């Protein structure tokens, strides 16, 4: 049975401590950008903070069956994002740059294998030098390219290591469609494709990952602008893990799906947006299956 321990913190995943738990997963963690995931904010400088709580007590094997392990995982991620958007810079598009710095606390135990570890630290950071956004009457569209740098600490003997010890390139594209002239009803999608580099000190290159995020929502303009809806995601590993240190079955690929409710509130006088969502995972293969809650703050300066 292949076991690949992955956690749903933000851009971070648990790494194993033995050969049984040595498989790799990608950096990006979906589900923190909500019902308008395919839209970039308007021109300006933004500080964004995500607070993500994830818990799981069931691990599914490579066949999609419950593994029977005595497994428990809790993660809290506090993520800081800095985004600047310029108006109409390239090909009629707004242009943005983005830096993301995650910090996480992870507590994991797998009594069957004597694994018990907890750790707090800075994770691998995201550097996104190219974001293009088109804002039309009926739709928004976005395209972006990012590098994920292995800044977080990593130790093969520590299951809760906040870093992953390899670089990744991530290409994102998607959009939001508005169903009426007031843009009150909307549906949004965003695709992210990750290409991973070789792990430092190991001949292991994780397989590519594809993540599809979506949201459907309704906006109600008042003194405070409220939105509510449903959001979710689907994630698949799409190519094999490769390298001479891949001692497990590298052809087994993980996947996961999730769905849940969301509510947001924008306060124009404060230029502040608050979002809260819960997402419930299902259909896990070769990974944990759990529940995630996210409280996000967007501040425009």
Which stretch of 2-6, 91-95, 105-109, 177-181 has the lowest confidence by average pLDDT? Answer: 2-6
Average pLDDT over residues 179-207: 92
Q: Does residue 8 lie in a domain region?
A: no
| Coil vs helix vs strand at 244 | coil
Position 6 confidence tier, pLDDT thresholds 50, 70, 90 = very low
Q: Which residues form the domain of 296?
A: 19-300
What are residue 96's phi and psi, to 5 degrees?
-130, 155
Q: Does residue 147 lie in a domain region?
A: yes
Task: Identify which has the larger pLDDT, 3 or 257.
Answer: 257
What tens digit of pLDDT does each residue of 47-103 get? 999 999 999 999 998 888 998 888 999 999 999 999 999 999 988 899 999 999 999
pLDDT value of position 115: 86
Q: Does residue 193 lie in a domain region?
A: yes
The CA distance from 78 to 10, in Å, is 8
Q: Does residue 165 lie in a domain region?
A: yes
Q: Which residues, in sequence order, are bridge partners of residue 88?
A: none
Q: Does residue 240 lie in a domain region?
A: yes
Model pTM score? 0.88
The CA distance from 228 to 35, in Å, is 8
pLDDT value of position 12: 31
Q: Does residue 70 lie in a domain region?
A: yes
Which stretch of 127-131, 218-222, 281-285 has the lowest confidence by average pLDDT? Answer: 218-222
The CA distance from 255 to 235, in Å, is 5
Q: What is the DSSP letter of 205?
A: B
Distances (CA, A) of 16 to 39, 132, 134, 140: 36, 37, 42, 40
Q: How many domains does the chain have?
A: 1
Q: Are 229 and 260 in contact (CB under 8 A)?
A: no
pLDDT value of position 216: 97
In Å, how far from its chain's centre is CA 283? 17
Q: Are 249 and 22 in contact (CB under 8 A)?
A: no
Average pLDDT over residues 203-215: 93
Checking if the pLDDT of 210 tops 50, the result is yes
CATH number for 293: 2.40.128.130
Q: Does residue 10 lie in a domain region?
A: no
What tens digit of pLDDT does each residue of 93-145 get? 999 999 999 999 999 998 888 888 899 999 999 999 999 999 999 999 999 99
Q: Does residue 31 lie in a domain region?
A: yes
Position 23 confidence tier, pLDDT thresholds 50, 70, 90 = low
């Amino acid at each position: 049975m292949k076991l690949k321990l992955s956690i749903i913190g933000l851009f971070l995943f648990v790494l194993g401590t033995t050969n049984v738990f040595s498989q790799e997963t990608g950096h990006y963690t979906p589900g923190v950008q909500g019902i308008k995931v395919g839209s970039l904010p308007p021109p300006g400088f933004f500080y964004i903070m995500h607070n993500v709580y994830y818990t799981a007590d069931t691990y599914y094997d490579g066949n999609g069956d419950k593994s029977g392990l005595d497994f428990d995982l809790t993660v809290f991620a506090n993520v800081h994002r800095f985004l600047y958007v310029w108006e109409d810079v390239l090909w009629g598009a707004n242009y943005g740059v983005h830096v993301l710095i995650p910090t996480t606390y992870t507590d994991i135990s797998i009594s069957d294998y004597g694994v018990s570890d907890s750790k707090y630290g800075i994770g691998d950071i995201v550097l996104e030098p190219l974001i293009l956004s088109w804002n039309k009457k009926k739709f928004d569209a976005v395209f972006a390219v990012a590098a994920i740098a292995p800044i977080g600490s990593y130790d093969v003997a520590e299951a809760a290591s906040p870093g992953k010890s390899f670089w990744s390139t991530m290409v994102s594209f998607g959009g939001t469609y508005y169903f009426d002239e007031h843009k009150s009803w909307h549906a949004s999608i965003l695709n992210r494709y990750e290409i991973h580099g070789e792990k430092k000190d190991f001949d292991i290159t994780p397989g590519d990952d594809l993540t599809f995020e979506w949201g459907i929502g309704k906006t109600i303009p008042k003194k405070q602008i409220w939105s509510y809806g449903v959001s979710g995601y689907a994630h698949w590993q799409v190519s094999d893990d490769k390298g001479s240190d891949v001692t497990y079955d590298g052809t087994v690929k993980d996947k996961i799906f999730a769905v849940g409710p969301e509510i947001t509130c924008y306060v124009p006088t404060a230029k502040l947006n608050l979002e809260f969502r819960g997402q419930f995972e299902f259909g896990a293969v070769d990974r944990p299956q759990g529940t995630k809650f996210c409280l996000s703050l967007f501040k425009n300066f």
